[in-house]
């Protein structure tokens, strides 16, 4: 090999070596530099989190619905653990997993003793493994083992005399009203990192506002992981969470829940919902659901119970949709209360080879539009839909907000279903006029019906009126909605619904609550079949009554829905008594003068 070739090979070799070294330096300093710096920093420092106080949930009068109470964080100083990690984990899990009560909340199934024991054992095994994994974390000094430990559990753990364990003060949620408004409240649990976080309800929706921001203390440590007393210390101050002032009125919520519970029990219903709302601005005064759960012991209930039925459960509304269709036709100038149905109301209607009947197979030739509502006449409503025309009819259903979320400040809302206009067959167009072939949630129904009470505009249902931040109170702005029907149409249908409430043969007899005689109440009942898998169930209905009062200047909208009442299927018979009991309690509570 010539000298020139040797020189060239040496240059290539050293050039490749230089490039390899340069690329490795780039990898360690640029690509992995941040990780290595963090690793080196973790060998000389550790960071302690300073929890922020979570904000309260307050009724409209500032009385507490959810507040904080004393609790403890159990943590371990790993270098001081002197027993086998599995032994420590098993002992702690036995205590921490054994705090499962036998729960008997109205509407919720109680755990049987065998189920209770099985749940404890499953929790104990899972918790023991989780604690053991934390105790074996490499290069860690302090690890959090359990949040929200109460004083009794702390004493049991102290009595084990396990070295390396200690407690720090923190707070947990307390529910002075027990399970009241459970679906509205939600609950607080540990996230995947073991930190408290709100789930479902207001706790989940307003997590950022309620949680605040935890503080941090960064401390130097020696080679053995011990803090250096005179070492450098860096702090970031905590910022406590904001409290929420709700639109809920405690008394209204209380009697809404009590009346709903009585109705569910009396009529042997599978569940129910009651809503009390101001139809003028969308403030929700009460929101009750059954079955419900206990937020303080949420983990002992089926997860299906966590969702709020008022916004998550969909159903066909049935006859309570009729006044909205009538209002659209009046708003368009197609009918008046005195308009009479022609021969199309003389008997069953055949449309597309299918027959449409009235609910009781009784027919009323030449009846007026007011009588259509009073008698809840399906054939009369088909006449209204045909007179209005399907394009305008379909558009009005959209304007009422069906097929769209209400925007309420709660998570898990379902928007319902309103199929595309071109997908409606002739018979579907007919049945939509009396609330079939569309799915809604209860709050959508209350929102749409509010337009009849307030002069024709949609409201934005909401549960929070003010956020009490550390820097001062922040009022939650109300969002004005669009005009969906004319004010004249709204007023006209209100007068028609007063007659429905007073004269309807399907209406709950008002003589059972004689103190309501002097009050003008606008209302409508509904009894809807339950659609499952493209067909209707042979048995079971959604029974409901919705209305508002005082009719001359409405302030309160009440909606009651019972799911599959066994004793009687009709909304007027089952939801009706609950509706009027709530109206009676509102009259007495607010001292409302007769019309």
Confidence of residue 5 (pLDDT cuts 50, 70, 90): low
Q: What is the b/e burial string over 215-254, where b = at least 16 CB atoms within 10 angstroms of the residue's CB?
A: beeebebeeebeeeeeeeeeeeebbbbbbbbbbbbbbbbb
Residue 54 or 236, more confident:
54
On whether the CB atoms of residues 557 and 278 are closer than 8 A, the answer is yes
Highest mean pLDDT among 170-174, 499-503, 556-560: 556-560
Could you list the residue range(s) of the whole structural domain that residue 175 is in?
A: 45-51+71-180+218-246
Rounded distance between C-alpha atoms, residue 558 and residue 181, angstroms? 16
Residue 360: its pLDDT value, please? 86
Return the CATH number at 585: 3.40.710.10
What is the b/e burial string over 321-339, where b = at least 16 CB atoms within 10 angstroms of the residue's CB?
bbbbbbbbbbbbebbebeb
**Residue 49 pLDDT:** 66
Q: How far is 40 from 28, CA to CA, in rounded Å? A: 13
Give, as one character, the DSSP assignment of residue 440: B
Mean pLDDT score of the chain, rounded to an integer?
A: 87
Tokens for 475, please give them.
């009022």
Sequential DSSP letters for 170-196? EEEEE-TTTTTTHHHH-EEEE-TTS-E
From the list 293, 302, 291, the residue with the least C-alpha distance to 260 is 291
Q: pLDDT tens digits, residue range 323-372?
A: 999 999 999 999 999 999 999 989 999 998 889 998 888 888 899 999 99
DSSP helix/strand/coil, 354:
strand
Do residues 460 and 501 both lie within one domain? yes
Answer whether residue 272 is part of any domain: yes
Q: Are both 264 and 230 inside the same structural domain?
A: no
Query: Do residues 546 and 426 share a domain?
Result: yes
Q: What is the pLDDT of residues 103-142, one digit of tens each?
A: 444 455 556 777 767 777 877 888 889 899 999 988 778 8
- DSSP assignment string, 525-575: EEEEEEEETTEEEEEEEEEEEEEEESTTS--EEEEEEEES-SS---HHHHH
What CA–CA distances, in Å, run from 304 to 294, 308, 376?
13, 9, 35
Confidence at residue 110, expressed as pLDDT on a 0 to 100 scale = 55
Give a yes or no: residue 581 inside a domain: yes
Position with higher pLDDT, 379 vs 533: 379
428 and 572 fall within a common domain: yes
Residue 54: DSSP 8-state: P
pLDDT at 507 over 80: no
Residue with token string 């989940």: 204
458 and 318, same structural domain?
Answer: yes
pLDDT class of 230 with cuts at 50, 70, 90: low
Residue 126: per-residue pLDDT: 86
Domains held by the chain: number? 2
Q: Establish if 188 belongs to a structural domain.
A: no
Span 543-560, pLDDT tens digits: 999 999 999 999 999 999
Is 305 inside any structural domain?
no
């Amino acid at each position: 090999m010539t000298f020139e070739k040797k020189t060239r090979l040496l240059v290539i070799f050293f050039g490749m070596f230089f490039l390899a070294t340069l690329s490795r330096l780039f990898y360690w300093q640029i690509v992995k530099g941040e990780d290595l710096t963090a690793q080196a920093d973790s060998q000389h420092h550790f960071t302690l989190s300073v929890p922020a106080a979570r904000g309260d949930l307050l009724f409209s009068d500032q009385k507490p619905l959810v507040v904080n109470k004393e609790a403890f964080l159990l943590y371990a100083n790993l270098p001081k653990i002197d027993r086998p990690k599995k032994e420590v984990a098993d002992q702690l899990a036995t205590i921490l997993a054994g705090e499962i009560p036998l729960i008997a909340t109205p509407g919720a199934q109680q755990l049987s003793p065998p189920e209770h024991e099985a749940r404890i054992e499953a929790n104990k095994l899972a918790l023991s493994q989780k604690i053991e994994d934390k105790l074996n974390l490499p290069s860690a000094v302090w690890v959090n083992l359990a949040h929200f430990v109460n004083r009794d559990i702390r004493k049991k753990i102290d009595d084990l005399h396990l070295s390396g364990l200690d407690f720090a003060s923190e707070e947990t949620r307390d529910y002075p009203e027990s399970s009241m408004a459970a679906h509205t409240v939600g609950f607080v649990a540990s996230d995947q990192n073991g930190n408290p976080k709100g789930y479902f309800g207001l706790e989940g929706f307003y997590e950022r506002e309620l949680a605040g921001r935890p503080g941090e203390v960064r401390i130097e440590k020696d080679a053995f992981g011990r803090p250096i007393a005179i070492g450098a210390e860096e702090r970031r101050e905590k910022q406590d969470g904001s409290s929420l002032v709700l639109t809920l009125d405690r008394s209204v919520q209380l009697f809404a829940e009590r009346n709903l519970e009585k109705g569910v029990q009396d009529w042997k219903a599978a569940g129910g919902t009651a809503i009390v709302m101001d139809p003028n601005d969308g403030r929700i005064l009460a929101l009750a659901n059954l079955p419900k759960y206990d937020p303080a012991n949420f983990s002992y209930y089926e997860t299906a119970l966590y969702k709020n039925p008022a916004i998550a459960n969909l159903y066909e509304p049935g006859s309570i949709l009729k006044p909205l269709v009538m209002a659209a036709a009046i708003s368009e100038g197609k009918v008046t209360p005195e308009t009479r149905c022609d021969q199309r109301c003389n008997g069953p209607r055949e449309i597309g080879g299918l027959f449409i009947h009235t609910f009781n197979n009784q027919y009323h030739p030449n009846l007026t539009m007011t009588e259509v509502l009073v008698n809840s006449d399906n054939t009369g409503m088909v006449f209204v839909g045909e007179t209005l025309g399907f394009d305008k009819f379909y558009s009005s259903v959209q304007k009422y907000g069906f097929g769209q979320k209400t925007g309420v400040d709660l998570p898990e809302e379902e928007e319902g279903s309103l199929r595309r206009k071109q997908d409606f067959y002739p018979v579907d167009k007919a049945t939509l006029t009396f609330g079939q072939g569309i799915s809604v949630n209860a709050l959508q129904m209350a929102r749409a019906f509010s337009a009849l009470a307030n002069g024709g505009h949609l409201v934005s249902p909401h549960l929070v009126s003010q956020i009490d931040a550390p820097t001062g109170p922040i009022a939650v702005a109300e969002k004005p909605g669009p005009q969906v029907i004319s004010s004249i149409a709204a007023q006209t249908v209100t007068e028609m619904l007063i007659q429905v409430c007073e004269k309807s043969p399907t209406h709950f007899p008002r003589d059972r609550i004689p103190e309501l005689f002097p009050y003008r109440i606008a209302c409508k009942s509904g009894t809807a079949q339950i659609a499952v898998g493209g067909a209707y169930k042979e048995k079971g209905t959604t029974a409901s009554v919705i209305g508002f009062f005082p009719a001359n200047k409405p302030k309160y909208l009440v909606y009651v829905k019972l799911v599959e009442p066994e004793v009687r299927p009709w909304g007027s018979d089952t939801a009706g008594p609950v509706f009027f009991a709530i109206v009676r309690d509102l009259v007495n509570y607010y001292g409302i003068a007769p019309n």
